[in-house]
Structure 1
Amino acid sequence: MPDPSPPADSPVRASALDTSVIPLGERALQGILDHVMAVGDEAETTCLEVKGPLDMGSKTSTAKIAKFLLGAANRGPREAARHFHGYAVLVIGAQKEDAPGVPRGTEAHELEDRLRPYLGPQFPAFEFGRIEVGSDHEVLFVIAQPPEDGQPIFPCHKSYQSDDRRDSLEDGAIYVRGNSNTRPARSGEILALVERARGGGKPPIVLEVELVGYVHRVDRVEEVLEQLLNYREEQFHKEPEQQEQTSFSPASLQLASNLFGSAKPPSREDRDKALAAWRRKKAEYIAGGREHLLGVGLSGAGIRVLSRDRFIAKPRLTLTFHGCELFDHLDADDADFEKAAEPVLRRQNPLGPGFDYAALRPLPKDYPVNWSNRSEDAEIVLTPESLRPNDPWTSDQDDYVIVARDTGACSAKVTWLLTEEGNDVVTTGEFVVPTEELIDASDVLKSVFFDGV
């Protein structure tokens, strides 16, 4: 009798699914997809459901996803923990021996908005993953978080009638995961969920928070920038003498005048007015130069957060670096000497004012990092979608630069406060970070603008 299994080099060769992993990240999701392609619907279990290609914008597809999430949320914690560390996965766009996917472009926040009427306002957050298949399609993964003792029962909040009754939803119904499907709960299952709700609430939050990067100390910043501006003024006074010693051909002047307007240098009166206006803004120019120099000349920092043995849905972590200030971190390519030391008269671009791309720092919607200076302290607010148990989350190190206000401080105190959506408990903590060795502003200036000169 011939062997019915695919050959060894087949991309859909059947293999046992490893459910001891957390089903997050490309490698874990690819393993699930390979298994689904190998066995098709037979892959479905209490922790895994499979759907072929769906119209992601249709009400029927939304109802199917809502039903899966409701059933996954109404599982027992101990039973759920046997597979995928308690997570449950819905695969969309895959079937036996094929993964056609769905058209690319489904956004998690848009899907969540369509699901919310069915799930209700207190429903736990879910994860969202994708694997590209072809140039314009992708397989989607909707990943339900592990259930916990103390969670309430999650009923359906809105009815939906489908041509296929298996895809219908009833307002007030309680759905649970069976061995390979989601169905209405039986009486014993409802009583088990009541016991889950009496389970004493969620375990306490134990959080580890640390700085990734440095708290810098920089000496003589204002003094060095003051010297730069004084140099600017000295050079400005010399410019008329240099212009008188420079000869231009009449043809060149005529061409410049025809193309760009008058090529005449500013009059003495105009120069005197410009210098007076520049002097009035000198303090402002020093402040702006300080911000630019430190932002482009110092390394950025990030925050690493680890939740011990607990899933935290939609956290808000606020960190205060006492006695510190923040600056926008800038790339080396953004270094601009005229921003560090404002000239009395800026050179005019004959083609019109140039656009300052460095000043444009668009952030994606729902960007999880925000920062500001408050009085004498620096505040950083982190809002990741979730914190997974024992899986560290780290913010990027290209958002901000941290600088101690006191150049003599050898350390900085950091306090933090965490809140969780749907949880009235506030968790707090603090830690101390050593500051970096004191550096001179002139060295920062040299490294940014005169490196190798």
Structure 2
Amino acid sequence: MPDLSPSEDSDATTFALDTSVIPLGERALRGVLNHVVAVGDEAETTYLEVKSRLDMNSKATAAKIAKFLLGAANRRPGEAARYFHGYAVLVIGAQRNSAPGVLRGTEAHELEDRLRPYLGPQFPAFEFGRIGIDSDHEVLFVIAQPPEDGQTIFPCHKSYQGADRSDNIEDGAIYVRGTSNTRPARSGEVLALVERVRRGGKPPIVLEMPLLGPICRVDRVDEVLETLRRFEEEQFTKQSAPAEDTVVSTLSIVTPSIFGSPLSPEDRSQALTAWQSKKAEHIAKGREHFLGVGMPGAGVQVVSRDRFVAKPHLILTFHNCEVLDYLDPDDASLDEVVEPVLRPHDPFSPGFDYSTIRTIPRDYPVTWSTRGEDAEVVLTPKSFRPNAPWTSDRDDYVIIARDPQARSVQVSWKLTEDGNDTVTSGELRVPTEPLVDAADLLKSVF
């Protein structure tokens, strides 16, 4: 990271803070950091607070951050909107002329778990950012969302008594942002918050949801898989019993491993019977791999019009569709499409194929499953910001229409928001892609 220290002949105007931007993303946060390094504690205002060095694992730090968030949440919407579009920022690990940072390793979900006892269950979501300083340190940013008319008053839910009395917070106290600090609310400020509550609830949620990627149609999948399976069985049964004087005949029926022993006719018959008994399981597994590597992935973009949505839970139901894991085309394997009667066995390889495990990171905001005759996709991002598109990846899942002749499918959705009992719902009709023949798809993929 470049040196953030201002030169001796520079002044605060060199790093004038642009408060017309939303303080999210590295570019905006770096501008905030440069301003803090230039002016130090003088940067503190109703929408910006600075902490130089903190132990991110201590109770005192959790109380300090909670106090800032409580004060930011209890601001007046009109006044807050003048700067940073209503957001407020806590910078941790910076001071005048330097940004020493704090030790790397603080995770947003762990910090939120430590803050929740102070903030309470209905507290609005907050954002979390970081800028690396070196291999061991980073500057952290805790970003409070804009206050809104109709929001409740947010009191502190837990007391903390520390060595520094200025860091203490009390259960039941109402904190507000002063000119450069967070303090208990005065009577007039409490009344202003009561008036904020009376000004009505949040505006209704209006979502735009263009789907990204296709809803696929594939014909003759079962027919192609059945043909491949018959071919595998024919090839296996054509291998004759070994002739005593023919080396080639012996090699043709040994197990595929060079370290294996020749199979007797009885062993081969038992292997074929076991393979035939698992036909339904093999076809289902092969179908998932075939379509997963052969068809393009899908996603969704969500835009909330003029409305911040905190911790949304959005369920999209693709009626009369199925959803499968998207697989990298480079991982295409014909042995995964049609199960061999006998798989090669390498004594030096693990008994379990770990490549089949699909790992999903903790708190990944997209899940998908087939429920009955429908495909269901659930989105749980941290927030939908006003008029800012939120887009899911297109390498998560594949959507397949069950009816190959369907020219479109119906998609319904339901949205709930953290701290809001209202359920918002809607429907849309989405055209499907041109029909693909499974035999052509098999040729193109394999």
Q: Indicate whether the TM-score tops 0.5.
A: yes
Match of 1:439 in 2: 436
Q: Which residue of 1 aligns with 2:66?
A: 66
Whole-Å Cα distance in 2 between the matches of residues 36 and 275 of structure 1?
73
CA distance in 2, matches of 1:261, 1:342: 20
TM-score, normalised with respect to structure 1: 0.92
* 2:122 alignment partner, SS class: coil
Match of 2:419 among 416, 419, 422: 422
> 2:282 aligns to what?
285
The answer to whether residue 22 in structure 2 is matched with residue 22 in structure 1 is yes
Partner of 1:269: 266
Q: Where do residues 168-187 of structure 1 align in structure 2 (5 Å cutoff)?
A: 168-187=168-187
Aligned partners of 1:181 and 1:198: how far apart in 2? 27
* 1:330 corresponds to 2:327: yes
Aligned to 1:404: 401
Between the aligned partners of 2:298 and 2:16, the Cα distance in structure 1 is: 42
Q: After the TM superposition, which residues 14-413 of structure 1 pair with which residues of structure 2 at under 5 Å, given as runs? A: 14-240=14-240, 247=247, 263-413=260-410
Cα pair 1:303 1:395 within 8 Å, conserved: yes
Q: What amino acid is aligned across from residue 51 of structure 2 in structure 1? A: K
SS in 2 for 1:28: helix
**What do the CA deviations read for 1:372-415 (whole angstroms, capped 9, x no partner)?**
11111111111111111111111111111001111101111110
Q: TM-score, normalised by structure 2?
A: 0.93
Give 3-state SS (helix, strand or coil) of 1:275's partner: helix
SS in 2 for 1:381: strand
Secondary structure of the residue that 1:54 maps to in structure 2? coil
2:439 corresponds to which letter in structure 1? S
- 3-state SS in 2 of match to 1:123: coil
Change (3 A) 1:410 1:159: same
CA contact (8 A) 2:241 2:265 kept: no
Q: Distance in 1 between matches of 2:278 and 2:170?
A: 67
1:350, distance to aligned residue in structure 2 (A): 2.6
Residue by residue over 1:326-359, the C-alpha shift from the partner in whole angstroms, topping out at 9 and shown as x without a partner, is: 1111112322211101111111123244442332
Cα 1:183–1:303 change in 2 (3 A) is same
Asked if structure 2 preserves the Cα contact closer than 8 Å seen for 1:7 and 1:13, the reply is no
- Between stretches 37-46 and 75-84, larger displacement belongs to 37-46
SS at match of 1:14: helix
Separation (CA, whole Å) in 1 of partners of 2:137 and 2:33: 14
Relative to structure 1, the CA distance from residue 266 to residue 178 in structure 2 (aligned partners, 3 Å threshold; closer, same or farther) is: same
% identical equivalent positions: 69
Query: Are residues 12 and 217 of structure 1, via their aligned partners in 2, closer, same or farther at CA, if it must alter by over 3 Å?
Result: farther
Question: 1:144-172: CA deviations, max 9, x gaps?
Answer: 01001111111111111222221111121
Q: Which amino acid in 2 is paired with 1:271?
A: R
Distance change in 2, residues 1:145/1:233 (3 Å): same
**CA distance in 2 between partners of 1:309 and 1:302 (Å):** 23
Would the aligned equivalents of 2:410 and 2:427 in 1 still touch at CA under 8 Å?
Answer: yes
Change (3 A) 1:65 1:240: same
1:6 maps to what in 2? 7
More off after superposition, 11-20 vs 276-285: 11-20
Please identify runs of 4+ aligned residues in structure 1 that moved more than 4 A. Answer: 10-13, 241-246
Deviation, 1:12, is 9.0
C-alpha distance 243-100 of structure 1, shift in aligned 2 (>3 A): farther
Letter in 1 for 2:269: D
Distance, in Å, in 2 between the alignment partners of 1:282 and 1:59 is 58
CA contact under 8 A between 2:37 and 2:99: conserved in structure 1?
A: yes
Distance 2:241 2:24 in 1: 69
Specify every segment of 5 or more residues in structure 1 that has no aligned partner in the other structure, as ranges.
none
Structure 2 counterpart of 1:122, one-letter code? Q
Per-residue CA deviation, residues 42-80 of structure 1 (Å, 9 max, x unaligned), is: 111111111101001111111110110010000000100
Aligned equivalents of 1:15, 1:264: Cα separation in 2: 76
Question: 2-side partners of 1:99 and 1:194: how far apart?
Answer: 39
Q: Distance in 2 between matches of 1:61 and 1:352?
A: 49
Distance 1:164 1:241, change over 3 A: same
**Partner amino acid for 2:201?**
G
- Aligned AA (2:229): L
Compared with structure 1, are the counterparts of its residues 370 and 409 closer, same or farther at alpha carbon in structure 2 (3 Å cutoff)? same
CA offset digits 1:216-266 (Å, max 9, x no partner): 111110111111111101110223369989737x9x9xxx99xx9964321
For the 8 Å contact 1:334–1:358, the answer to whether it is kept is no
Distance 1:446 1:378, change over 3 A: same
Distance 1:75 1:262 in 2: 74
The gaps in structure 2 that reach 5 residues or longer are: 1-5
Q: Give the aligned residue type for 2:309.
A: I
Amino acid at match of 1:361: R
Task: Judge conservation of contact 1:132–1:139 (CA < 8 Å) in 2.
Answer: yes
What amino acid sits opposite 2:77 in the alignment? P
